Amino acid sequence: AQTVTQSQPEMSVQEAETVTLSCTYDTSESDYYLFWYKQPPSRQMILVIRQEAYKQQNATENRFSVNFQKAAKSFSLKISDSQLGDAAMYFCAYTGLNNAGNMLTFGGGTRLMVKP
């Protein structure tokens, strides 16, 4: 079974600074997708960024980028120029390509606080 681990229960960053959230996973599959979801106080799950395991190039979405290290099974999220609206819970998630049900396995989450 796949597992996803987020070792940082809480992180804090100063507004306009950069922060990196860590995620590691365990799988025996060779191809899969990885995601970062943001959950603000509204509880809505918002997809921030996604990565295909067979793509070596790290995904980037505006101020959000990932550092994907396949051999190390690491998938960290970097938020540049942090904004107050970035404060939320962030979840790393995994799904396998061979899994017809597209089931997502989530990490435990990291609470990000942004200081003005």
Partner 1 sequence: DAGVIQSPRHEVTEMGQEVTLRCKPISGHDYLFWYRQTMMRGLELLIYFNNNVPIDDSGMPEDRFSAKMPNASFSTLKIQPSEPRDSAVYFCASSFLGLAYNEQFFGPGTRLTVL
Nearest distance in Å: CB 108, partner 1: 5
Nearest distance in Å: CB 86, partner 1: 19
Residues that bind partner 1 (CB under 8 A): 33, 35, 42-45, 47, 50, 52, 91, 95, 97, 100-109
Nearest distance in Å: CB 14, partner 1: 27
* CB crowding 66-99: b at 16 or more within 10 Å, else e: bebeeeebebbbbbeebeeebbbbbbbbbbbeee
The residue among 64 and 106 lying less far from partner 1, judged by its C-beta, is 106
Do the Cβ atoms of 62 and 40 come closer than 8 Å?
no
The residue among 16 and 103 lying less far from partner 1, judged by its C-beta, is 103
